[in-house]
A and B are shown apart, each in its own frame.
Chain A
Amino acid sequence: MDSNLQEQLQLLPVYFQGHLALTLVALFMGIVVSVPLGIIATQSAKAKQPLLSIISIIQTIPSVAILALVVAMLGGEIGFLPAIIALTLYSMLPIVRNTVTGLETVPAEVVEAAQGIGMSSSQILIKVRIPLAMPVIIAGIRTAAVWTVGLATLSTLVGATSFGNYIFTGLQTRNLVAVTVGSLASASLAVSLDWFIAGIQWLFENKTKGQPSQRYGQIKFAVIVATVAGVSLSAYALWPKPKADFIIGGKGFTEQYIMSGLLAAELESVGFTVDLRLGMGSSVAYEAVSDGSIDAYLEYSGTVWANVMGKSDNPGRTAVLEQVTDYIQAADGLVNIGSMGFKNLYGFAMTKARAAELGVTSIDDLVPIAGQLIGGGDLEFFGRPEWASVRDAYSIDFAEKLTFDTTLMYSAVSNGQVDVIAAYSTDGRLAAYDLIMLTDPRNALLPYDGFLIASTAAANNQKFISTLQALVGKVTDDTMREANKIVDVDGGTIAQAISYLRGVIHLEFIDAE
């Protein structure tokens, strides 16, 4: 079997448990909350419209935004809880709506008969209306189940394990095998869950007195087996595990996947157990280390400077790093263990051929000709403080500014559609597309030193600190670029990039001794 596929399939049991637990718990919560809400809506005309409107509005908020908002409302807590809250909110609409429709479409004559023989309104609800509305309510639960399985993949963004780990890692590291495995697994779970609920419904509808048919027995057996399996797997996934010594976090792009893997591998080599929380949003990672949900990850000085501290000036590489170190210590009790040695900053890049043709080596050289050039950037660059800072420091602007998905941006500069792009300094594709970085003599671009950020608690562990300190200064720009290139350009796996990095680090380490 293909080693990449084998690597992905080894992750399946853990991701499956995580995804199943998220889905079943969220769906259970959704049913427990939504069916009573649906009943309330049909009992009170005043409550009905506002209730249905609020639930519809929740549904229109983009799911990624709901996840981010729930994390913020929980004070930065990541993992299972925020994911469950968001998924429960999302499961509500189809269940509430179908409960209302189901109860309202019970034939009037049956309700009148129930009234006429002397049932109270609560008896009518429990003995007549709810049982008769059940097929419609269950149809709503089936819709919610399929939605929840799909949306649970997004839980990865807030640090809850799911099939989304496959999809996000795969998308960021251009590993289509991982994306495919994740999508198929998620689709299969959705279909199985749908069948399972349909099976329960069938059992209810075909309940007869006397001897049950053979088919009834078989379906009943299948439903019971599936229930026991689903509940015990979820319980196993949620059962408090012996906690790993440390939890390493990471954001959602190639360099981050490699670096978190490297930190984990180094810590495990000295005997610690380590858990990973990968693919987190940039601000989620910082919040998570602040409240101790994770112990360490690789952060960039410029990111903290601009996004956490809200600064827009650029006092220079050393000053930024010093002030960031002081700030995270004072504001959030976090420790800067040290810089890795590379910086991943935005920088202007051109093909070597085009640069030679125009005689350009620095941004200064662009100043007289920028008006005739086409510039390219990723989707956010021209809206970021970095661009404003370059524009003001050099008083330049391009004739045209185009934005691209990162992969397309590199091919655009390579085939001459744009003259210059805002690239990432450690990107492996610089080498692959034969690009050079222009120097920044006026220091307009913020420095993005990669440094190891750790919670105070973790930093108090001497062995932990010394293990990570041994990595400080060991990964140069070139080394990091090569590691990224293994994944982004050569189609290698994260594991291969990590072992490349470890080889370089330990070789140097031996040399230094």
Chain B
Amino acid sequence: MIELTSIQKSFDDGHSFAVADTSFIVSKGEFLGLVGESGSGKTTTLKMINRLEEPSSGTIIVNGKNILDQNPESLRRNIGYVFQGIGLFPHHTVAENVAAVPQLLKWSKQEITKRCQETLELVGLPYAEFADRMPNELSGGQQQRVGVARALAANPEVVLMDEPFGALDPINRDMLQEEFKRIQAQLNLTVIMVTHDMTEALLMADRIAVMKDGQVLQIDTPAQLLLNPQHEYVKDLVETPKRRTDRLERLMQSANVGLS
């Protein structure tokens, strides 16, 4: 469980706020999408949860403990982290990349190898084929699968994702979204995913928080957002995918007419 209470973040000693008075709760096993345009404060909010940024005020509780009472490194080792840049270590093999957190946690060698096999199979990369490959020998989609495997390696209950599928081609993106949703459900992970792609959020998240100018405008289930948007901005945002779907449908129909 993750609980943010009155979180504020200012990068200029209080003259302006990147995140202003934000509170929300994500319950165990829930998938929260954090949506907004760039500069809305969504990534800053995410990074405060594993202390890559420190909040200027407010409290954050993860799994019942105030994160400020924990050493930032050990906090991060217990939270999975996936981001757009992927950031695989280019000088380490796939297996070594996946083993990074278990190694920091000083697991035994057998445990690490066993867990590497499990997580790589989980993200659809056969261990025997991929373990000894270097990151630059993989496609973008395969690299992000390794990124996900690395985030899950130490059995975290909470996973933070920062535009994880943003750099992938559409086919791979679609496939990975679905697979990750399956994994999340299977492992009952608590997930916060930052994205600017409303469709992605609607398809994956249990609830969506829409952010603008450092504020959460509305936080609701996809259905509620679609049916009952409480701001013009939210309405625009959720209607975009709908409009695109309608246009696609009309296109398909005219194509069918043309064919028959």
Q: Is the CB of B85 within 8 A of A117?
A: no
Q: Is A128 an interface residue (CB 8 A)?
A: yes
Q: Is the CB of B87 within 8 A of A112?
A: yes
Residues of B contacting A108 with CB < 8 Å?
85
Q: Is B86 an interface residue (CB 8 A)?
A: yes
Q: Is the CB of A113 within 8 A of B83?
A: yes
Interface size class of A (residues with CB under 8 A): 20 to 34
**A112-B85, A210-B132 known; A119 vs B73 contact (CB < 8 Å):** yes
Q: Is B88 an interface residue (CB 8 A)?
A: yes
Most buried by B among A110, A118, A209, A210: A118
Residues of B contacting A274 with CB < 8 Å?
none
Q: Is B230 an interface residue (CB 8 A)?
A: no
CA distance A199 to B73 in the complex (A): 38
Q: Is A333 an interface residue (CB 8 A)?
A: no
Q: B144 to chain A: closest CB distance in Å?
A: 12
Q: Is A29 an interface residue (CB 8 A)?
A: no
Q: B191 to chain A: closest CB distance in Å?
A: 15
Q: A234 to chain B: closest CB distance in Å?
A: 31
Q: Is the CB of A117 within 8 A of B81?
A: yes
Q: Is the CB of A113 within 8 A of B132?
A: no
* Identity of the chain A residue whose Cβ is nearest the Cβ of B76 in the assembled complex: A118
Within 8 A of A (CB), among B84-118: 85-91, 93, 100-101, 104
Interface size class of B (residues with CB under 8 A): 20 to 34
* Identity of the chain B residue whose Cβ is nearest the Cβ of A109 in the assembled complex: B85
**A116-B52, A117-B100, A131-B91 known; A109 vs B86 contact (CB < 8 Å):** yes
Most buried by A among B76, B87, B89, B91: B87
Within 8 A of B (CB), among A109-136: 109-110, 112-120, 123, 127-128, 131-132
Of the residues A115, A117, A128, A210, contact of B101 by C-beta under 8 Å? A117
Q: Is B122 an interface residue (CB 8 A)?
A: no
* Identity of the chain A residue whose Cβ is nearest the Cβ of B79 in the assembled complex: A118
Q: Is the CB of A118 within 8 A of B85?
A: no
Q: Is B62 an interface residue (CB 8 A)?
A: no
Of the residues B74, B77, B78, B88, contact of A113 by C-beta under 8 Å? B88
The 7 closest A-B pairs by CB, nearest first: A113-B87, A109-B85, A118-B76, A118-B77, A116-B81, A209-B132, A109-B87
21 contacts between A and B (CB under 8 A): A109-B83, A110-B87, A112-B52, A113-B81, A115-B52, A116-B81, A116-B87, A117-B81, A117-B100, A117-B101, A117-B150, A117-B151, A118-B73, A118-B74, A118-B75, A118-B101, A118-B104, A119-B104, A131-B91, A132-B90, A209-B132
